[in-house]
Amino acid sequence: MLKNGFFPFHIVDESPWPLYMSLGGYMLFTYTILTINHLSYSFYILVLILFFVFSSFYGWMRDVCSEGFLQGNHTTLVQTGLKTGMVLFIISEVLFFFSFFWSLFYYSVTPSVEIYSWPPTGLESVDPMGVPLLGTLILISSGISITWSHHATMHGDKNGALTSLALTIMMGLIFSVLQFTEYKECSFTISDSVFGSIFFLSTGFHGFHVLVGTFMLIFCFIRMYFNHFSLSHHVGYEAAIWYWHFVDVVWIFLYICMYWWGSPLN
């Protein structure tokens, strides 16, 4: 504690958002398990669950922004803590996706007698030169545009930052639509061998991360429009950018390992 009675840390007030996010995650995973086992399926229930999750996420981010922008509680030390927390979160996400890649190579390098080959015999995998390649180009382009927006922010070019950020958001939404279209036209399901399970789990979780990242960028766009960011203080925007780059890198590995490796063209 400092001599004047203040300290550089921020004691967070009681908040309902961690509980709400936990409940939303529980409902989402329960719905996924029931759907996979054909016990329950309703698109409207999924929409309600996602609305609850993203509403809770919005409320949490709104409170964090209020604590920093309006109340001035985000000191230099607090900003460092927020950045460190985001880095640790991304590392945990890397390990999360690593488990999918481990499963992929475990079954693809040495297929069992039942599987015989990779992809399994009789299963028509997705053409890597079609929609997946287009999605890859879109995500790589979005990584370039978000970097452009970041540099524009640091140089005080608000219009350039908003334009490039809007372009990134648009490409993120287009990617989500493309992936949804790919799922609808896919010739196999999550129940079709271990290939289908790994494919839909890995690409599905990545698609969810794209939605979360897009939501974060939309939130940052609104904040940027109302001048919440300065040249030196835009921690929330930096965290969203790091997350988006992580999503881009994961997809590149997914494209190479899941689509190209699992393609008859290989």
Q: 236 Cβ partners below 8 Å, 6+ apart? A: 61, 64, 65, 68, 220, 223
The Cα 249–Cα 238 span in angstroms is 17
| Segment 130-175, tens digit of pLDDT | 899 999 999 999 999 999 999 998 888 999 999 999 999 999 999 9
From-to residues of CATH 1.20.120.80 in the chain? 75-260
pLDDT of residue 115: 64
- Average pLDDT of the residues in 220-241: 85
CATH for 16-73 is 1.10.287
Range 75-260 has CATH code 1.20.120.80: yes
Which residue in the block uniquely carries the two structure tokens 């979160």?
89
| Segment 49-89, tens digit of pLDDT | 989 998 998 888 887 777 766 666 667 777 788 889 899 99
Q: Provide φ and ψ at 220, rounded to 5°.
A: -65, -35
The pLDDT of residue 100 is above 60: yes
Q: Identify which of 234, 229, 233, 208 has the alpha carbon closest to the alpha carbon of residue 46.
A: 208
From-to residues of CATH 1.10.287 in the chain? 16-73
Q: Is the dihedral of CA 179, 98, 236, 25 positive or negative?
A: positive
